[in-house]
Amino acid sequence: MPGYGPGMMENMGGFDPSDLMARPEMRQAETRNQAAMVSDPYREANMKAAEKTNPMNAESQNPGKIFLMRFIGK
């Protein structure tokens, strides 16, 4: 059967995994930096929005939390 046997890769559907872990330290660094790269353009806007956050919002959720905990039996 063509495509199988010693030295032959099975059909990978066009995906070439040969470079996947060629440089694991670079791949790991790229993965760790991905969140920062995505959110950096919005950093200033997020900081301005955080300044407007009312710290009482979280406190106001407590009655709902108590109801929820009783409802689920905890």
Kindly tell me if the per-residue pLDDT of 62 is higher than 70: no
Of 66 and 42, the one with more pLDDT: 42
Q: Are 28 and 22 in contact (CB under 8 A)?
A: no
**Angstrom distance (rounded) from CA 16 to CA 19:** 7
Q: Between these two residues, 64 and 37, which has the higher pLDDT value? A: 37
Q: Where are the domains of the chain?
A: 23-72
13-61: pLDDT as tens digits: 777 777 766 777 777 777 778 888 888 999 999 999 988 877 666 666 6
pLDDT band per the 50, 70, 90 thresholds, residue 4: low
Enumerate residues 6+ apart whose C-beta is below 8 A from 11.
Answer: 3
